[in-house]
Each structure stands twice: as structure tokens, then as C-alpha cells.
């Protein structure tokens, strides 16, 4: 089995590479991919760079070039749900592109013909994440993640995204990765730890907490990888 682990920024994959210790580095399509053998399975790891286009390229490359059969994403997000605090974990059950807008033609936000407003994540990996959460004694919120090519630092925009997509958290890569995995029939799991509240203080909060929240997310993702491997061996 070959599993992809991706992030968007170096800080999101650094804790994973640190845990692996040894890996092979390959340059491909203007990005760096790290390959390692871990508990008998092949891992391919990369950070895409920020945004929907780069994350689409990286997810596609991990699947089509490196042969990934499952994909797990680890990173940080802005909270939309008022329940969520910095460091809290959110698992996406469905994802939408909040900046995909042809509403001028009467379509709903996030929709284009032959597409769908939401892409659903793999239910069995979400189930496994519940086992991981209880084993770690952590609470993880399952919810909707909205993605766009925009760092949201504005209460009005955040509330619009919350109202329009019932989103719990927002970020800049999840839904594009979801579209790729769904199209290529690769089960995927998108995890985020909150770094900010997508409000007027978001950039300061992000700068302060991005690295610590990325570590929280990466630790959980590695436990998820362990669980996926154990489950696959059954
Ligand atoms: N990732 C983390 N915080 C974010 C925010 N406020 N907007 C977009 N992406 C984010």
C-alpha cells in the first residue's frame, strides 16, 4: 500500500518528516516529494504550497505519478464555528469551494455544472479517526470545511461562508484536494487544527499559533496512518 501525506506549508509536513527520520527526496513538477517506508508501507509526503491550484497539482502528482492509494492531509485552519478554539482538531466530512462563484447564472455558490457544491470525504477513515481520537483522549470535531484562495481575516466574509456552506472551518486547500481524490477514486482524509478565528486578528493569531497547531495536526495524522496500516493488515 502507498499512502500520501500532504500539507500546504513546510511547517505542516516538517513534524512528519522529523518523525520518519529517513526518507528519499525527489524533485518533480517543481516540487519536492519525500518517500519513506514506514511500518511496511510506502509513504509519499509533500507540501504543495498554499492554495487550490498548487494543492491540486500536488494531490494529482501524488496519485498519478507516485501511485498513492489513500491520501491524508494535515494542516491548520481558521475557525468558523464559535465552538472551535486554537489547537482544536477538525475532520472534514464534506468540503466546498467558497470562492467558486457563477451565481450570476443562477447557480448556488460553490457549484459549477457537472460538479457538486460539496465533496464527501471517506466515511471509513472518518470512523477510524474516532477510534484514534478516543485512544489519544482527544476530542475531534467532524464538520464541513470551506476552501478558497483567500486568507480570511474578516468577520463578515467568515460569517457569509458559515451561513452559505454551514462551514465549521475554512482553509485554502482541502476542497481542491477533495475534488482530485474524488475524481481519481482515492479515499481521502482532511484534518486541520485551528490556528485562528478568521477574524480581524487572524493574521496575528496565525503567525503565533500556526506552527504549534500544525504539530497537533501532524501528531494526529501519524496516529491515523498507524490506524490505516493496522486496519489494512486485518
Ligand atoms: N488557514 C488558517 N487560517 C486561515 C484563514 N483565516 N483563512 C484561510 N486559510 C487559513
Q: What is the pLDDT along the chain (234 residues), one digit of tens a residue?
A: 999 999 999 999 999 999 999 999 999 999 999 999 999 999 999 999 999 999 999 999 999 999 999 999 999 999 999 999 999 999 999 999 999 999 999 999 999 999 999 999 999 999 999 999 999 999 999 999 999 999 999 999 999 999 999 999 999 999 999 999 999 999 999 999 999 999 999 999 999 999 999 999 999 999 999 999 999 887
Q: Give 171 Cα–ligand 1 centroid separation in angstroms.
A: 5
Domain edges within the chain: 2-221
For 142, residues 6+ apart whose C-beta sits below 8 A from its C-beta are 90, 91, 93, 126
Helix, strand and coil percent figures for the chain, each rounded to 5: 40, 30, 30
- Report the alpha-carbon distance of residue 168 to residue 43 in Å, rounded: 30
Q: Give 130 Cα–ligand 1 centroid separation in angstroms.
A: 24
Tell me which residues have their CB closer than 6 angstroms to ligand 1: 76-78, 151-153, 170-172, 195-196, 198, 202, 206
Q: Cell numbers at residue 16, please?
A: 512528519
Q: How far apart are the first and last CA of the chain?
A: 13
12 annotated active-site: yes
Q: Which fold has domain 2-221?
A: Rossmann fold (3.40.50)
SS3 87: coil
Confidence (pTM): 0.98
Amino acid at each position: 500500500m502507498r499512502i500520501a501525506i500532504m500539507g500546504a506549508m513546510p511547517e505542516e509536513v516538517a513534524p512528519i518528516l522529523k518523525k520518519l527520520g529517513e526518507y528519499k527526496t525527489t524533485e518533480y513538477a517543481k516540487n519536492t516529494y519525500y518517500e519513506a517506508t514506514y511500518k511496511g508501507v510506502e509513504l509519499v509526503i509533500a507540501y504543495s504550497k498554499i492554495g487550490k491550484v498548487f494543492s491540486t497539482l500536488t494531490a494529482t502528482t501524488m496519485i498519478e505519478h507516485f501511485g498513492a492509494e489513500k491520501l491524508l492531509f494535515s494542516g491548520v485552519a481558521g475557525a468558523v464555528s464559535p465552538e472551535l478554539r486554537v489547537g482544536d482538531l477538525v475532520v472534514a466530512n464534506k468540503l466546498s469551494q467558497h470562492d467558486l462563484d457563477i451565481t450570476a447564472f443562477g447557480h448556488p455558490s460553490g457549484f459549477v455544472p457537472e460538479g457538486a457544491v460539496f465533496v464527501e470525504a471517506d466515511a471509513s477513515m472518518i470512523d477510524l479517526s474516532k477510534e484514534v481520537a478516543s485512544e489519544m483522549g482527544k476530542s475531534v470535531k467532524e464538520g464541513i470545511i470551506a476552501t478558497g484562495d483567500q486568507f480570511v481575516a474578516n468577520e463578515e466574509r467568515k460569517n457569509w461562508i458559515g451561513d452559505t456552506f454551514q462551514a465549521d472551518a475554512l482553509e485554502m486547500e482541502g476542497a481542491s484536494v477533495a475534488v482530485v481524490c474524488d475524481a481519481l477514486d482515492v479515499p481521502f482524509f482532511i484534518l486541520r487544527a485551528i490556528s485562528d478565528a478568521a477574524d480581524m486578528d487572524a493574521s496575528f493569531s496565525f503567525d503565533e499559533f500556526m506552527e504549534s497547531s500544525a504539530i497537533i495536526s501532524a501528531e494526529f495524522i501519524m496516529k491515523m496512518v498507524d490506524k490505516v496500516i493496522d486496519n489494512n493488515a486485518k
